[in-house]
Amino acid sequence: MQTNEHRNIEVENRTVEKHSDSSKVAAAGIKYAAYLIVFFGLLYFLVRYVFPLF
């Protein structure tokens, strides 16, 4: 015996907004610029305050 079942299948459409390449590059540039500022600030602190103690 064959039964025909009607299935209600709802398809959910999702729209994904991808960042453009330029925004990824800008975000990475800002991040690494912040890393460099912290790095050189730490070096400045070491040279200015810590090394003269020795």
Pick the closest to residue 23 from 15, 11, 31, 12 (CA basis). 31
Read off the pTM.
0.55
| pLDDT digits 0-9 by tens, 1-54 | 556 566 777 878 888 777 678 999 999 999 999 999 999 999 999 999 998 888
Count helices and strands (H / E) in the chain: 1, 0
Handedness of CA 22, 27, 33, 35 (dihedral sign): negative
> Measured in Å, how far apart are the chain's first and last C-alpha atoms?
94
Joined tokens for residue 25: 């590059």
CA–CA separation, 22 and 28 (whole Å): 10
**What confidence score (pLDDT) does residue 32 get?**
98
What are the sequence ranges of the domains in the chain?
21-53
**What confidence score (pLDDT) does residue 53 get?**
86
